[in-house]
Amino acid sequence: MTDRRLNATVRGLVQGVGFRFYVVRVAKALRLSGTVANARDGSVRVVAEGPEERLRELADRLREGPSASAVKDVEIEWSDAAGAFRGFEVTFPGPE
Instruction: State yes or no: is 20 an active-site residue.
Output: yes
Per-residue pLDDT of the chain (96 residues; tens, 9 = 90+): 689 999 999 999 999 999 999 999 999 999 999 999 999 999 999 999 999 999 999 999 999 999 999 999 999 999 999 999 999 999 876 444
Residue 27: give its domain's CATH number. Answer: 3.30.70.100
pTM, whole model, 2 decimals?
0.92
Cα–Cα distances in Å, from 90 out to 1, 2, 53?
A: 27, 25, 22
Active-site entry in 5, 38, 45, 54:
38
Q: In this structure, is residue 18 part of a structural domain?
A: yes
pLDDT score, position 93: 63
Instruction: State yes or no: is 38 an active-site residue.
Output: yes
Q: In this structure, is residue 85 part of a structural domain?
A: no
Q: In this structure, is residue 91 part of a structural domain?
A: no
Active-site entry in 4, 7, 11, 20:
20
Total number of domains in the chain: 1
The span from the CA of 4 to the CA of 80, in Å, is 5
Q: In this structure, is residue 15 part of a structural domain?
A: yes
Residue 39: domain span: 4-80
Contacts of 88 (CB under 8 A, 6+ apart): 24, 27, 28, 32, 33, 34, 35, 36, 48
